[in-house]
Amino acid sequence: MNSTINIGLLGLGTVGSGVVHIIDQHQDKLSHQVGCNVKVKKILVNHLDKERDVSLSDSPLTTNPDDVLNDPDIDVILEVMGGIDDARNYITQALENKKHIVTANKDLMAVYGNELLETAAMNQCDLFYEASVAGGIPILRSLVDGLASDRITKVMGIVNGTTNYILTKMSKEGRAYEEVLREAQNLGYAESDPTSDVEGIDAARKTAILGTLGFSMPIDLDDVTVAGISDVTTEDLVYSAQLGYTIKLIGLAERSDNKVEVSVQPTLFPHSHPLAAVNDEFNAVYVYGEAVGETMFYGPGAGKLPTATAVVSDLVEVMKNMRLGVNGNKSVVPQFEKQLKADEDIYSKYFLRLHAKDQPGTFSTLTSLFSNHHVSLEKILQLPLQDRDSAEIIMTTHKVSKKNYQQVLHELDELEVVDFIKSSYRVEGDD
C-alpha cells in the first residue's frame, strides 16, 4: 500500500469544504487508522477564483473533470457536487478507471444507485454513500454491518431536517405553516424553492435507499408513495395533541411476507414514542429487527461537518479495504426481487378530521359507513363550529387495510351529512 492515498474531490461547496477541513485537521487520526497519509490532490470546481474558507495550498483546483477522473495517481474520488446527470457520468467514468467512490448524493443513489453498484462490482471498486441519508447518523453502515445478521422488518424515521423544523415550530409555538417556512428559509434550513423538502421528495429518495439496503431489494424512487407537509395545519397539530399524538413527516419501509411497502407522509405518533421527541432540524431513524427488536439512531441530519464526517468515515473504510486488498467485495447488488404490497395488504391506523352536519342521524350514518367497510373507531372528538349547523369531528381508527380506508374516504366525500374532509393521516407507534 502506498505511503500516501491521493484523493480527488468533485465539488467544493459546504460539504466539500468540510471534507477538506476534516482531512487536514485529522491527519494524525487518519494515519493511525489506515497506516498512511491522506492527500486531497485535485478538486473540481465551477469557478477557480471564488473565495473559500479552507486552505487549498496543496490541492490544485480545476474546472476540467478529466483532470480528476483520469489522473492515474488518484486512488479515491469523493463526489459532493450534487445533481444527477453529471455526477452519474463522472462516477461511471471513475469506476471504469478503477477508482473507488464515496458520494453524499442521495438524489443520484435513489435513481441510479443499483446501476452504479453493479458498475462498481464489475470493476472491483468500492462505492460507499453513508452521507446520502441522515447526514452524520451512521444509519447505512448500521443496516449493512451492525445489523447484518438480523432480518430487518421495518425502517421508519425523520430523514428531512427542514420539515421537522417546520412541524416543530408549528406544534410548539402555534404558528402557521407559511410563516415558519419563511423563517426556515431565512435561517438557511430551507431552499428558496422548498418543494423537494416540503413535498416529501427529499425524504422519499432517502427512504428508497433505506428500503433497498434494509431489505436487500431494489427499491426505486417511483415505488415510494409520497405526501408532504404543505397541507398540514396548526389545527391538525392541536387536535392531534388533544388525542395524545405528535405529527412528523415519516419515511417508512416495511416488509412482511416478502412484500414491501414504502412511503413518505405526515404521520401521528403517541407523545411517548421516541420519534415524537425528535425536534427542530434533527433526524432519527427507527429500525425493527426480528432478533434485535427496536433500535433508534439519532443525530444531526445535515450540516457541513456532520455530513463531511460521514464522507470521511466512508473514505477510511475504502482505505482499510485497500490495505487488505478486498475492495469491491461490499458492492453487493440486492438479493431479492422487488415485490410491492397491494393496498389490501397494507394495514395501519388512521387519523381523520371532517366537518359534518350537526343534526340527528349524522353519527348513525357515519358509523354505518365505517361498519360496512370493517373500520372500527378508537378515539372520537366532536367540537361545535361557529356555524351551529355543523360540527368538527376528529377520530382515529383501529388498524384497517388501506384499500378499505380509501373506500371509506371516497364514500364520505359523497355523503350528504358530510360537508368536507379536512385532513387524514396515518398513525404509527400505537400498537
Please name the residues in contact with 55: beta carbons below 8 A apart, sequence gap of 6 or more.
Answer: 20, 24
CA-to-CA distance for 247 and 164, rounded, in angstroms? 9
Q: Which of 41, 42, 99, 206 is catalytic?
A: 206
Distances (CA, A) of 206 to 67, 106, 160, 213, 332: 31, 6, 9, 11, 19
Contact call for residues 279 and 176 (beta carbons, < 8 A): no
| Sheet containing 76-79: order of strands | 61-62, 37-44, 4-10, 76-79, 100-103, 127-128
CA 255 to mean position of chain CA atoms: 17
Distances (CA, A) of 137 to 102, 206, 228, 319: 16, 13, 23, 21
Dmax (CA) for the chain in angstroms is 84
- Helices 304-324 and 14-25, packing angle to 10 deg: 60
Cα-based distances in Å from 184 to 100, 194, 198, 237, 251:
36, 10, 11, 19, 21
Helices 234-242 and 161-173 cross at an angle (nearest 10°) of 70
Question: What residues contact residue 417 under an 8 Å CB cut-off, 6+ apart?
Answer: 356, 357, 359, 361, 362, 365, 366
206 catalytically annotated: yes
**What span, in angstroms and rounded, lies between the C-alpha atoms of 210 and 217?**
10
Going through 50-137 in order, the beta strands assigned E by DSSP cover: 61-62, 76-79, 100-103, 127-128
Query: Which residues, including other chains, have CB under 8 Å from residue 143's CB and lie 6 or more apart?
Result: 152, 155, 210, 213, 214, 287
Q: How far apart are CA 310 and CA 406, in angstroms?
A: 41
C-alpha cell at 333: 447488488
Q: How far is CA 330 from CA 42, 267, 318, 321, in A?
A: 26, 34, 10, 10
Closest CA to 336 of 260, 270, 277, 402: 260
Q: Which amino acid is at 153?
A: T
For residues 396 and 412, give the distance between their C-alpha atoms in angstroms, rounded to a whole number: 15
Cell of 191: 431552499
Catalytic center residues: 206
